[in-house]
């Protein structure tokens, strides 16, 4: 079993309340050694936040010209194959469930085990939604995204570096009341032409019920990994 600690942390950068794991990821992406254990953190987000991915950054958090605060975690690779990702931002709206994790890679993992770890959050989210009653025919899994009826509500960022796997995912629970903010997204983020909130679409469960089901599904997968 891969032992992982689950935590919850307040995310409210305007009040200087920032999940510790994001501070560690920022330093790690800038070349520092990661100091910590296996952990997955659910953010209790209190305000909308931009998630920027510059190629290089020495500023962890700042207030943008539009008044919103932003996290600025640099891409871990500084080459052309991922440079395009620096040209757009992601919105963590206040009705979002951001999840961040750091998992130490075991060199003895099989290919199948490593794939399970890489897909931990996307597969756990999919499985949790099915268990909560969501119609699987309405869910799609292109690349590292999850869609409901062709509309995106889940995005995932993975970085495998220096013996650690960094996982960051953003799950939009509700969309409509913050649509104006989503309209400010830049670049090519809106790949699927539409964004939605999974709670709005289904009305089958609460945020708390979803977190509980998601945690159970992650533990179920982690129990199969040495």
Give 202's contacts (C-beta < 8 A, 6+ positions apart). Answer: 129, 132, 133, 134, 148
**Structurally, what CATH architecture does the domain formed by 5-222 represent?**
2-Layer Sandwich (3.30)
pLDDT at site 16: 98
Q: What residue spans of the chain are helical by DSSP H?
A: 20-29, 80-83, 111-118, 120-131, 179-182, 198-202, 207-222
Across the chain, mean pLDDT equals: 92
Q: How confident is the model at residue 185 (pLDDT cuts 50, 70, 90)?
A: confident
* Long-range pairs for 182-185: beta carbons < 8 A, 24 or more residues apart: 182/91, 182/93, 184/66, 184/91, 185/88, 185/89, 185/90, 185/91
> Mean pLDDT over residues 79-88, rounded?
57
Q: What is the pTM of this model?
A: 0.93
Domain boundaries, the chain: 5-222
Which range has the worst mean pLDDT, 40-54, 103-117, 182-196, 197-211?
182-196
pLDDT-derived band at 1, boundaries 50, 70, 90: confident
* Cα distance from N-terminal residue to C-terminal residue, the chain: 5
Q: Is the pLDDT of residue 40 over 60?
A: yes
């Amino acid at each position: 079993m891969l032992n992982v600690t689950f935590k919850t942390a307040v995310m409210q950068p305007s009040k200087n309340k920032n999940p510790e794991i994001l501070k560690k990821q920022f330093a790690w992406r800038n070349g520092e050694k990661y100091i910590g254990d296996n952990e997955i953190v659910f953010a209790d987000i209190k305000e909308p936040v931009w998630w920027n991915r510059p190629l290089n950054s020495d500023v962890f958090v700042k207030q943008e010209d539009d008044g919103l605060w932003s996290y600025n975690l640099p891409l871990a690779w500084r080459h052309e194959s991922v440079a395009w990702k620096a040209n757009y931002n992601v919105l963590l709206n206040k009705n979002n469930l951001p999840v961040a994790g750091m998992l130490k890679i075991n060199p003895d993992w099989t290919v199948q085990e490593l794939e399970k770890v890489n897909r931990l959050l996307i597969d756990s989210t999919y499985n949790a939604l099915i268990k909560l009653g969501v119609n699987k025919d309405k869910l799609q899994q292109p690349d590292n995204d999850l869609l409901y009826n062709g509309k995106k509500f889940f995005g995932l960022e993975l970085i495998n570096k220096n013996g650690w796997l960094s996982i960051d995912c953003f799950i939009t629970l509700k969309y409509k009341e913050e649509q104006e903010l989503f309209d400010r997204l830049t670049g090519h983020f809106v790949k699927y032409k539409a964004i939605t909130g999974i709670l709005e679409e289904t009305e089958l469960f609460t945020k708390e019920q979803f977190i509980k089901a998601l945690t159970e599904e992650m533990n179920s997968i982690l129990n199969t990994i040495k």
